[in-house]
Amino acid sequence: MKLSSLVYLDSALQATAQQWANRFKLPCVDGCSVAAAKPKVLQRFLSAQCAGEGAAFVFVLASDGLVLHAVEEQHGLSIRADFHGATVTYRRKQGGGKGQMIAKAVGVRSGVYPWVLDATAGLGGDAFVLASLGCRMTLLERVTAVRALLEDGMIQARRFGVAQDAALVEVLDRMTLVEADSLNYLREVSEAKRPDVVYLDPMFPVRTKSAMVKKEMRVFHSLVGQDTDADGLLTAALSCARYRVVVKRPRIAPALAGPSPSHVLEGKSNRYDVYTLEKLPDGLNASGAEGKL
Ligand SMILES: C[S@@+](CC[C@H](N)C(=O)[O-])C[C@H]1O[C@@H](n2cnc3c(N)ncnc32)[C@H](O)[C@@H]1O
């Protein structure tokens, strides 16, 4: 994955843009002149930043946050971590609550809200669902660009929440992002920081018929690469978690190497392999969220 630069589209964001650019040691480019232009013109401007660099991605900072733009796609494609858009908000407010398969896999039930370490956080979708259900979440993501999207997604959502959605702020308060490679973290974590549950969702080659999902997944794959060390993660997770390890897999994928799961929850396209170490005790509540859900 090669990044060319960071382009900002609003002069009020210049200082913030420069901070992000410094962090990534990337050139900071003023794109304000094309901010209001037709998408085609903006796309051409962004592609021009990558030409000659052999780069496929450019960061774009606008008033609605930070995105990673893939210029090689026919009409470009923007990737962001979204915790306050219409779709995630609908799921947070109207979704299946504790009845969702992910909640059952992790062990959320009335009075039980475990502390979950999401060791493969990606863009934070699963972690956000679990935090919405009342779990305290620690998110680990090793790809710097993805971690930046996560960090900015949380900043944007908090800004929105402070202005108009206090419940969203409570969810975000339960999420902590840590800069680490999970393999090292899981092996070295102190006794006090051992989570109740470790959640793993490593990359797996995409096999879907949906063109749009395919495009987004393909771009995300080219961004983070293959998680070839996922089997090692399961071993480390099993010695770190207090009560259980949950592995999300495409329904047809083989289980990670290691012991067989204690039980499996199967959905239409995904399944959850649950490795139970000990029963989650009644009243386990790592976040103090009980009674609100
Ligand atoms: C399939 S994505 C996870 C998607 C996530 N569950 C979501 O809901 O957005 C897998 C992510 O795990 C990250 N990852 C894989 N192995 C890791 C490790 N050892 N440490 C930290 N992150 C890791 C990858 O960089 C990638 O972003």
What's residue 96's pLDDT? 81
What's residue 291's pLDDT? 43
Q: Pairing relation of β-strands 197-200 and 115-118?
A: parallel
Q: What is the mean pLDDT of the chain?
A: 92
Provide the domain limits for residue 52: 3-79
What's residue 200's pLDDT? 98
Cα separation, 98 vs 293, whole angstroms: 9
Residue 75 has pLDDT above 80, yes or no: no
Instruction: Looking at the structure, tell me whether residues 249 and 132 fall in a common domain.
Output: yes
Instruction: Looking at the structure, tell me whether residues 48 and 128 fall in a common domain.
Output: no
Q: Average pLDDT of 62-67?
A: 96
Pick 86 or 226 by higher pLDDT: 86
Residues 6+ apart with CB under 8 A from 181: 140, 142
Residue 82 has pLDDT above 60, yes or no: yes
- DSSP run (H or E) holding 182: helix 182-188
What's residue 246's pLDDT? 98
pLDDT in tens, 262-291: 999 999 999 999 999 999 999 999 876 654
Instruction: Looking at the structure, tell me whether residues 94 and 24 fall in a common domain.
Output: no
Pocket test for ligand 1, best of 120, 175, 229 (most atoms within 8 A of CB): 120
Q: How many domains does the chain have?
A: 2
Q: Counting atoms of ligand 1 from 1, which one is nearest the CA of 124?
A: 9
Instruction: Looking at the structure, tell me whether residues 260 and 160 fall in a common domain.
Output: yes
| Residue ID of nearest Cα to ligand 1 atom 1 | 203
| 22-41 b/e (C-beta count within 10 Å ≥ 16 → b) | eeeebebbebeebbeeeeee
What's residue 31's pLDDT? 97
Instruction: Looking at the structure, tell me whether residues 198 and 115 fall in a common domain.
Output: yes
- Residue 5 φ/ψ, nearest 5 degrees: -170, 180
Band of residue 226 on the pLDDT scale cut at 50, 70, 90? confident
Q: How far is the CA of 41 from the centre of ligand 1 (A)?
A: 33
Instruction: Looking at the structure, tell me whether residues 113 and 199 fall in a common domain.
Output: yes
The reply to whether 285 falls in a domain is no
**DSSP-derived 3-state class of residue 95:** coil
Q: How far is the CA of 275 from the centre of ligand 1 (A)?
A: 19
| Total-model pTM | 0.94
pLDDT in tens, 162-180: 999 999 999 999 999 999 9
Pocket test for ligand 1, best of 80, 216, 227, 272 (most atoms within 8 A of CB): 227
What CATH number does the domain containing 54 carry? 3.40.50.800
Give the residue among 215, 203, 195, 222 at the shortest CA–CA distance from 286. 195
What CATH number does the domain containing 223 carry? 3.40.50.150
Instruction: Looking at the structure, tell me whether residues 49 and 13 fall in a common domain.
Output: yes
pLDDT in tens, 42-60: 999 999 999 877 888 999 9
Q: Average pLDDT of 90-107?
A: 92
What's residue 292's pLDDT? 44
Final residue belonging to a domain, choices 79, 110, 132: 79
The reply to whether 289 falls in a domain is no
**DSSP-derived 3-state class of residue 169:** helix
| Residue ID of nearest Cα to ligand 1 atom 17 | 120
Instruction: Looking at the structure, tell me whether residues 72 and 184 fall in a common domain.
Output: no
Final residue belonging to a domain, choices 50, 79, 108: 79
Instruction: Looking at the structure, tell me whether residues 102 and 154 fall in a common domain.
Output: yes
Residue 201 has pLDDT above 60, yes or no: yes
